[in-house]
Structure 1
Amino acid sequence: MDQKTPIQLQELPVPAACTAECRRQKHSRKGRAFKALGFSTLLLWLGTRYFRFPSPMTFRESPSQWPFPPDVTVDHCAEYSDPVETEGGDYPLYSADASLELPASADTLFLISRSHHHGGRVFSTGNVNYLQSDEVTNTVKVDITAYFWREEHLQASKACLLKRDDDQTGVGIFTKWEGKRRRENERLRLDVTVTFPRTEDNSALAINNFSSDLEIFTQTVADLSNIDFKTLSLKAALSAIRAESLVARNATIRTSLGPIMIQSLIGETASIVTNLGAIEGTFNSSKSLTLSTSNGPINVEVNLFNNDEDDAAKLKLLTSNGRIEGRINLESTKKSGSAFNITARTSHGPIDLDVVAAPLESNITLGATTSLGSLSAKLPTTFEGEFHASTSLSSLQVKVDENAEDPAGKGRKRHVDHRTVGKASSHGYVSWSEEGKTRGSVVVRSSLGPVSLEF
């Protein structure tokens, strides 16, 4: 083998002296590199801080562990049936079934979902349907159907019977996906049906407490008017909640992203909350009802019942960016001595309230405010009390029917005191008796929109 002569230091090419133009180009390249690095760092920070993008600099728990909550004990997990091919479009789609049963007499029944996905991308979504069957049993059935394109997708899910202390039992749906999604079809869809039984004499089925705490699962409730929930809590992270008919002494229905639409809800207290979405439906309450959304309209019909003048039934209609439309009926079985407190508030949107009926000699407190939008409020002739209406930069109109018939049928004449201050403020009272002048209170205000108040 030929002996190679080592290269001597003096034989290496000597770099040419860097000219002014050379230094300028180097500086420009460094500047672009630092700008790119800074911009990338800013995007990364914004994503992890505000949009919850996964950060590659965050150390994560190993996805080999199933995301079981620490406060539950896994009794057992259901076995899925053999996969069956179904219609899947461009890709072969398969399905498999699993079932679990819960004792209807348990103190608390619950349904939860938890997921652990490598890379933070959405792998599993689903839908939960609640219904009541004609079957007379003492169990609540939970049926799960999984739809998937590859068997490993099914293996990344579990449906388990869970236990908590104090006679709490439920079903947990868990997914654990360690791979990367390269195509849209590489995901798992779970359809869940929760079936409540009938009673032998077809009387209302008593359920102590039922709660759901789900991630990306829409929830759809059929007619459950023949079930009496002591406490009902439906919670979703990023999906809509829709219901046909519900009866619950205390109800909480909440989602972070999506509308809440309920055809009929009957309960003593209820809290209906969404961060981004509309609230629609008919709500019946005898103590407290709160309908709140940060970004969305509220369009509801409300029946509020009260018999205690010392403990008013309360209604709150709250949104930051959206319209409020409410048709409100106030009821009582007493001839006098009921109380109601109504609040409606939005920052950017109009308000339209119509109190269609109220008991005689009831104490009604109504406050409605909007910053950017019109405001219209109408109260029945049974209302008695003070009123104040104002706007800053628009028109104001107060209408009082002084010739209205006495709602008590006693032939009394309506007392009206109506005073206007400038063009944007009006106050006074309406009543059928001397003591009625200060019985109730109405305050309506818009900053930049027209205001209309009618009695």
Structure 2
Amino acid sequence: MIITDDETPSSPDKGSVTTPLLGNASTSATAPPAYTPRQNGPAPIGTAQAPYPNHVFVERRQSAGHRFCRAFLVAFGIWILASALLGSILDNGAIHAHWDYPTVPGVSADHCVTSWPSEEKNNGMFASFPYSVNVSFDIPLPTETLLLLSQGSLSNGNLQVTTSPNIKDSAHVQVVVNYHRKAIRDQAKICLVQREKGEEGVGIFTPRWQSDHADSRTERLLFDVVLTLPRSSSGLYINRLHTDVNNFEQDLESLKDIIKFGHLDLKGTNGRIHAKTLSAEQATLTTTNAVISADYLVSWTTTAHTTNALITGSFKSQESVNLKTTNGPIRAQVEIEAGSSTGTKKVSLQTTNDPIDVGIVLTTQSGSGGDLSVTASTTSGHLTASIQSLPIDAALAFTGTTTNSGAMLKLPSTFDGDFDVRTTNAAATVHRVNPHERDPASKDRVRTIQSSPNSRKTRATGSVFWGPKNTRRGKAVLRTTNGAADIYL
């Protein structure tokens, strides 16, 4: 409303009060306007008056809780429809998405399986997976490196290495894919792979799977892989066998007298590695959260590493044996054959929170001499070490440590050198096994043992030797805390 100078409104009387809804309230004598019924039909444009001009209409709003429930029910309905649609797509066709496949540095994939053979219904050991398909590859031999790879979130299964007289001049790789649904199976890529020149094999690649489906059981794959190598009376030499398979168990049958490996490199995660009898120049066995075991492994150097699991077996080497785990025991028999090579041979055993129980033998072609270094370390676990055989005039350096448990070392009568045994809150004791032993060199020497325990008997030092010239030849150190420490001479 625009106000001009000529239309200046007069000020209301001070004694009266006017309100928009109630009119002039200065007197109660004025009667309210008469009620006029609302006319049917539309009011003329421009002259219409709003009905009930003296009333204010307030819209009743829903409560916040009621609005939330309505929104939740709508969202839930949308989710149900989307899940049904996605389930139909997964069950009846390919998954329309781009998945991230892991890569292996330096490895290229070629000749991947594009059409699957007819599926079979499973029974027996793989009955939990209703269907399977079977594909195979032949890799010509010899080759610089034979590769077997498996990567990705759906990587899971078993790898077996065996031999057959029916295989000639090639390595035969058979892959059985066990599955619930074709759409999930089709996400696997099984290919011939190459690394550098002369390095080839088979790779299994699955995507980095991220699924929100409740029924994840049907979104699993299980790969059963068998590598079959030729078996002949003349034997077979494989320059290098390299495996890198996630979530796979690896089993190698008795191959010692059939196949000689130059480099045997078995790598996995969350799956055990078991070798029956093997022969290699260099053997490296690596996994996590699973056992490493070897019935009899012969190699120039041996390395076995895992975590949270046991390492056990019999290992024979000409240079070194290195066994390492965490939160798992080590139970091993180790033979070091010095042969004609020079230098110190090494045995290293390391774990945490579990015991070490090891027997060690050092041999030489001449039956004398040789240098051997042994370290055995754990925490909160018993340490038991026995040097079962040592050549005459061999130099042994042994260091064994643990905590909060007992420690025991047995040395053969051929050991010459110093010893140092200590503990806390317990006794350190030197035991002489046979006071009347004969000279192992048949020289009519007399064995001397000198020991000096401290006043608290928690430490004993001394030396043992056949003749004065051997007093400093070797050294044995045994240490623990809160447990007895015993050395047997």
Measure how far apart 1:92 and its partner are. Answer: 7.4
CA contact (8 A) 1:258 1:274 kept: yes
**1:324 aligns with one of 340, 356, 373:** 356
**1:164 aligns with one of 183, 195, 214:** 195
**2:244 aligns with one of 207, 213, 218:** 213
CA contact (8 A) 1:402 1:415 kept: no
d(CA) in 2 for partners of 1:306 and 1:9? Answer: 110
Q: Who wins on radius of gyration, i.e. which is larger?
A: 2
**What corresponds to 1:145 in structure 2?**
176
Measure how far apart 1:178 and its partner are. Answer: 7.0
**What corresponds to 1:398 in structure 2?**
430
2:116 paired with 1:80: yes
2:398 paired with 1:366: yes
Cα RMSD for the two superposed structures: 2.7
d(CA) in 2 for partners of 1:8 and 1:259? Answer: 89
Measure how far apart 1:166 and its partner are. Answer: 2.5
Measure how far apart 1:403 and its partner are. Answer: 2.0
Q: How many residues align?
A: 400
Query: Secondary structure, in 3 states, of the residue corresponding to 2:403?
Result: strand
d(CA) in 2 for partners of 1:14 and 1:77? Answer: 67
Query: Secondary structure, in 3 states, of the residue corresponding to 1:189?
Result: strand
Written as runs of structure 1 = structure 2, the 5 A alignment for 1:49-448 is 63-78=98-113, 79-87=115-123, 93-115=130-152, 117=153, 123-176=154-207, 180-183=212-215, 184-199=217-232, 202-225=233-256, 226-307=258-339, 311-400=343-432, 401-422=434-455, 423-448=457-482
Measure how far apart 1:221 and its partner are. Answer: 1.1
Query: Secondary structure, in 3 states, of the residue corresponding to 2:471?
Result: helix
CA contact (8 A) 1:181 1:187 kept: no
| Contiguous gaps of at least 5 residues in structure 1 | 16-61, 118-122
2:484 paired with 1:450: yes
Q: 1:309 to 1:262 in 2, by over 3 A?
A: closer
d(CA) in 1 for partners of 2:397 and 2:322? Answer: 16
Query: Secondary structure, in 3 states, of the residue corresponding to 1:407?
Result: coil
Measure how far apart 1:369 and its partner are. Answer: 0.5
Q: What one-letter code is carried by the residue in structure 2 that aligns with 1:439?
A: R
Q: What one-letter code is carried by the residue in structure 2 that aligns with 1:453?
A: I
Measure how far apart 1:308 and its partner are. Answer: 6.6
Q: What one-letter code is carried by the residue in structure 2 that aligns with 1:76?
A: H
CA contact (8 A) 1:130 1:195 kept: yes
Measure how far apart 1:153 and its partner are. Answer: 2.4
Q: What one-letter code is carried by the residue in structure 1 that aligns with 2:308?
A: L
d(CA) in 2 for partners of 1:8 and 1:218? Answer: 86
CA deviation profile, 1:179-200 (whole Å, cap 9, x unmatched)? 654322431111000111123x
Normalising by structure 2, report the TM-score: 0.77
Q: Which has the higher strand share?
A: 1
CA contact (8 A) 2:320 2:347 kept: yes
Q: What one-letter code is carried by the residue in structure 1 that aligns with 2:137?
A: L
d(CA) in 2 for partners of 1:178 and 1:382? Answer: 62
- 401-410 vs 430-439, greater mean Cα deviation: 401-410
Q: 1:345 to 1:70 in 2, by over 3 A?
A: closer
Measure how far apart 1:412 and its partner are. Answer: 1.6
Q: 1:287 to 1:346 in 2, by over 3 A?
A: same
Measure how far apart 1:91 and its partner are. Answer: 7.5
Normalising by structure 1, report the TM-score: 0.82
Measure how far apart 1:432 and its partner are. Answer: 0.9
CA contact (8 A) 2:129 2:178 kept: no
Query: Secondary structure, in 3 states, of the residue corresponding to 1:257?
Result: coil
d(CA) in 1 for partners of 2:166 and 2:444? Answer: 58
CA deviation profile, 1:280-301 (whole Å, cap 9, x unmatched)? 1101111111100011000111
CA contact (8 A) 1:269 1:289 kept: yes
